[in-house]
Structure 1
């Protein structure tokens, strides 16, 4: 298997179209075997995802953290720094932001929200930088270090909100959580909606920044060269360790912003289940988007729509709740396969004998 040198847009489009049709066919078979009406189920899915202004707003809100964690993946993977730490960086961003919420209470609203967002970005960036330093100084594999950090940061949050200093004191609490976040710290709503908030604007701006950094700056050249040929980059005199640290700081900062977005824009209290699996899903979103910022935004919106429309499938078509994540998994898998087929081709290698 080798990369396609001159990829044609029509071929890429055909691969993703085939993946969509095949994924929908497999999903339809799942729905049919459950006894639900296939046409009614998919109609409810589409209407719930993009069938009205309210549905579109809900889908964009669901897409926001997926876009941000997907962009974090793009930055790291384009440099072939195989960070799996987006999950922990989301949690670190939320924890950093909540720390800022406690420390800077009393500031004017605009400064208060800005300080909270900045603290969240720093939280994710610090965790990313730590993994990069371990790789640069001690040659610790980034896959191992970032996965371990995911566990550590989740356990730390579980203690903080499950009996530690951030725990809400109430007999009615079902989930481990903090108390409600004050309205002054909420991310402002967009389009007059309580669901879509400033976090979506952050996601779009982050995509633009990632594109400019990766494609139009010397650092972006170093990141791309690090992915293609690190030996040549080192021979050129570039400090490889410095580049890896910058990559992980940027990746962690964007992932941390996803944590801020969910806690201060949607949930309005810090709960671990709110953030669960956003980082891991973002890795898939970034891969489906072809490790390109624009593709990641598109993939995030599509799967945000699926997540939003899935509720309508359960309510209106009586599709079993357990089938919805299975359908999402099928579509993710088919899209990943389409991405591989679009970027690579199988080449026969002649062997002696």
Structure 2
């Protein structure tokens, strides 16, 4: 986060957003105004980076990786903001902490579902590697038996990919639970607390939006998508509202057009598989035209390599975000243990109950 200029409160291009959360007579230090302004401007810049250049960018692994990377950066910023506000955990309202702990459990569950789906796709990819090994024309022309084995493996791959991951089924429910906690909580007699709640609102909106896109991409359904309207009192509101309308519109269009797969790299592999599959499935000993086979195998190899690379990079980003949420949760509980053993015991019990549920 960039720091404000010394002694000069920054100007807000859309009006001072602090008016909506502070009484007119509230005396805010230039530092507090600058911290919030810096945080929201940084969030706006991240959302700008997510604007797709064209519809084909949406739900590509590179775009999804960027979305998760930027979300992790926002979490790093909120951590810095809390430290710079010098707002100790002991001053947090109990409701804030309960909501934070509850939401963190929900986010961990969502991350586990995403990781499970990425792992499932990666496991299915082993079948493609087997096919490419069997049909490696650079070594020798495949025998009739090898063609039939490759054909069987492609059939198994298509069956595995068409299955739905049960761990994704609860994502929509969890996301709607996160939406219920989006409202700005009322904070009495604490300028720092109100700034923190305003910033936390921005984090929650970005989190819910990104997770809804991932859930839609993995499930092949538009059901998980959320429609959030952010007031223009926030510096990042216009950018977010436009981005959400754009991306959600693309995904809904893909679903309505009957696209079976929303993930771009996975869709490319499916196209290659479906072109190759009928070419090698003949029970007769009629030889397959070598050039045609070679081109089909080459296309499958290229698309499968892009899929595998994208899976690896996106899996690392999801794992990194999971770690950020988990360590943030542990840090809060650790600080509560130091500040107030009674409060810590109460919240620890609540957290354990959430995990059990």
- TM-score bracket for this pair, using the shorter chain length: under 0.3
Q: TM-score, normalised by structure 1?
A: 0.22
Q: TM-score, normalised by structure 2?
A: 0.22
